[in-house]
Amino acid sequence: MAKQASAYDESAIKTLDPLQHIRLRTGMYIGRLGDGTNPADGIYVMMKEVVDNALDEFILGHGKKIEISRDEKTVTIRDFGRGIPLGKVIDCVSKINTGGKYNDDVYQFSVGLNGVGTKAVNALSSRFEVISFREGKFKRGLFARGKLLDEEEGKNKDQPDGTYIEFTPDEEIFKTYAWHDEYIAKRLRYYAFLNAGLQLIYNGQTYVSKNGLRDLLAAEIGEETTVYEPFHHREDKLEIAFTHTNAYGESYFSFVNGQYTNDGGTHQSAFREGVLKGINEFAGKSFSGEDVREGFVGAIAIKLQDPVFESQTKNKLGSDVRTWMVPLVKEAVERWLHTNADTARKLVEKITANERLRTELTKIKKEARERAKSVALRIPKLTDCKVHFTQKDEKRHEESSLFITEGDSAGGSLVQCRDVETQAIYRIRGKPLNCFGLGKETVYKNEELYHIMSALGIENGLDTLRYNKVIIATDADVDGMHIRNLLLTYFLRFFEELVTKGHIYILETPLFRVRNKQTTKYCYSEAERDKAMAEIRGPEVTRFKGLGEISPKEFGQFIGDDIRLVEVDIESMSEVSKALEFYMGKNTPARKDFICQNLIYEVA
């Protein structure tokens, strides 16, 4: 008998308390949950929301220091601003739609989530404490999962004005998670660059900047040679900086009201347009955008009232800023070039060289396309999925991925167990070419590298990237690691933004299978294997060295809902060139010494 549907009447309509709604629909407020292994995971968003409130105080001229500490899973943030008005402390951290961010006279360029941010942190914390110190008095509130447990108030003789917040993300919501200090450090460095003169102290480490975005560029570029000294311009609502290096592609660091907009947006587009127009006006030329931006590294920060973002996590600005931004950027660039003759000469020479190289590449590109057509009408070794960029479905495109794997055996297993809607497979043949130190023409002259670029659709930039995630799936042996490094070198050398924008991942597959007739456990490390062997009686242990050794039925478990991915993340652009030089360059003796000193001998 068919199951009778539930009645749809008044009893089916539910009204949730706002804090209950936050806990039930967490993604609406902080994006993904995660486990702390990705900088976009919820625990970092929670920390950001509290720090953002402290930053707002600094921006308004109150307090020049923010102290942050972490003890295991608990985070503490102390600012030295004005302190929350004592009569509203409890409301400001527990009642939705309560806060000073709605008053434009007080917070013109707010960073936080307009009266929601701290409430979300409170609702999603197993323990949340707030203390406001203001004008010789204090008010304290203690909460658990958004519910008030205790409050007190009184006189304050010792503490300077400001706000203290301590929270522990709730394991009922986040399950197993861990903080990674490198993600916190990166965010705090950006905060320092965006707020010249502000001291951010995290567990004893101080982050501070005197020159704003100019310091950001210096830190990101590191020892890599620049063509000229960076341009830097700052005014009330706009700050920009840029230079050229000899790397390929273009890189941007864009911010709105202190929020890092990883996916750019209208302000980044206006920045690019203004730079192009300013240079062309100065030079009396009609340089193309691609020639001006080859090797370009830029940073932009703007302040907006009521900015419109394309998602709750604010990764991409949607507000219309072109009208006022383009003329400002154009004028600033043009004026700088007129007053710095030597720099202007170097910049124009760089663009002219880019133009010449592009012309030389045109013939090579044409030959590569003709060669590809003669091989097949479609990209060899690519088994496509049904959903990718060409469908123009942004939500489904976010779910799409391309697995790059070695050989037909592993590729065949993946093809049989994949999700045909969203998972594509590309099989490479042998080891890719080591691209370190080679020119862009290599991509077109080498058949394998050309087909990878074509499969991804990135010849003209990331705007046409066909898959949201590019997953390197190689064997867990020396050859597999070498292929992984060669692919990473290829992406970092010619398509660096693919990495910096968070599109490259490494697939983790189990190293061991421990089983008996009743139980099977897959283990991703020797420690997991040893634990499983202790738990299972009379176990049979299988060591997986190649992906082709895993049956399609088993493989389906490892690329489904429980897929384990490690995002390829770089601390700064400067680290890329140093790492590639050491691991993929010609310094064979130094690399050999490093391997010998760090070699781990496995005793059977």
What is the Cα 47 distance to its own chain's centre?
16
Average pLDDT over residues 458-482: 87
**pLDDT, tens digit, 9 for 90 and up, residues 57-68:** 888 889 999 999
pLDDT at 137: 94
Judged against a pLDDT cut of 90, whether residue 132 lies above it is answered with yes
pLDDT at 396: 67
Which strand ranges, in their side-by-side order, compose the sheet holding 504-508? 382-383, 423-428, 401-406, 469-473, 504-508, 564-567
Please give the domain boundaries of the chain with CATH numbers for all domains: 18-207 (3.30.565.10), 213-356 (3.30.230.10), 378-509+545-573 (3.40.50.670), 512-543 (no CATH)
CA dihedral angle for residue 410, residue 413, residue 414, residue 415, rounded to 10 degrees: 120
**pLDDT, tens digit, 9 for 90 and up, residues 392-403:** 556 667 889 999
pLDDT at 166: 97
**pLDDT, tens digit, 9 for 90 and up, residues 138-177:** 999 999 999 999 999 999 878 999 999 999 999 999 988 9
Q: SS3 of 388, please?
A: coil
Judged against a pLDDT cut of 90, whether residue 233 lies above it is answered with yes
Distance of alpha carbon 197 from alpha carbon 218, whole angstroms? 17
pLDDT at 111: 47
> Going by C-beta distance under 8 Å and a sequence separation of 6 or more, which residues neighbour residue 37?
178, 180, 566, 567
Judged against a pLDDT cut of 90, whether residue 28 lies above it is answered with no
pLDDT band for position 481 (cuts 50, 70, 90)? confident
User: Higher pLDDT residue, 582 or 444?
Assistant: 444
Percent of the chain whose pLDDT exceeds 70: 88
User: Higher pLDDT residue, 378 or 250?
Assistant: 250
User: Higher pLDDT residue, 199 or 112?
Assistant: 199
pLDDT at 143: 94
3-state per-residue secondary structure call for 575-594:
HHHHHHHHHHCCCHHHHHHH
pLDDT at 270: 96
Judged against a pLDDT cut of 80, whether residue 116 lies above it is answered with no
Judged against a pLDDT cut of 60, whether residue 236 lies above it is answered with yes
Enter the pTM of the model. 0.75
pLDDT at 535: 93
Burial group, residue 140, by CB count within 10 angstroms (0-12, 13-18, 19+): middle
pLDDT at 604: 38
Q: Residue 36: left (phi > 0), alpha (psi -120 to 50), or beta?
A: left
Percent of the chain whose pLDDT exceeds 90: 48
- Percent helix, percent strand, percent coil in the chain, to nearest 5: 45, 20, 35
**pLDDT, tens digit, 9 for 90 and up, residues 424-450:** 999 998 889 998 888 889 999 998 999
pLDDT at 102: 40
State the chain's mean pLDDT as an integer. 85
Listed range (206-220, 288-302, 325-339, 566-580) with the worst mean pLDDT? 566-580
Which strand ranges, in their side-by-side order, compose the sheet holding 238-244? 231-234, 238-244, 296-302, 250-256, 259-260
* DSSP code, position 265: B
Tokens describing residue 268: 């980044």
Rounded to 5°, angle at Cα 353 from 273 and 228:
70
Which is nearest to 112 in space by CA: 38, 47, 184, 208?
47
Distance of alpha carbon 429 from alpha carbon 433, whole angstroms? 11
pLDDT at 107: 45
**pLDDT, tens digit, 9 for 90 and up, residues 308-347:** 887 655 678 888 899 999 999 999 999 999 999 999 999 9
pLDDT at 284: 95
Which residues are paired to 514 by β-bridges? 521, 541
CA dihedral angle for residue 537, residue 538, residue 544, residue 547, rounded to 10 degrees: -70
Average pLDDT over residues 35-55: 89
**pLDDT, tens digit, 9 for 90 and up, residues 269-302:** 999 999 999 999 999 999 999 999 999 999 999 9
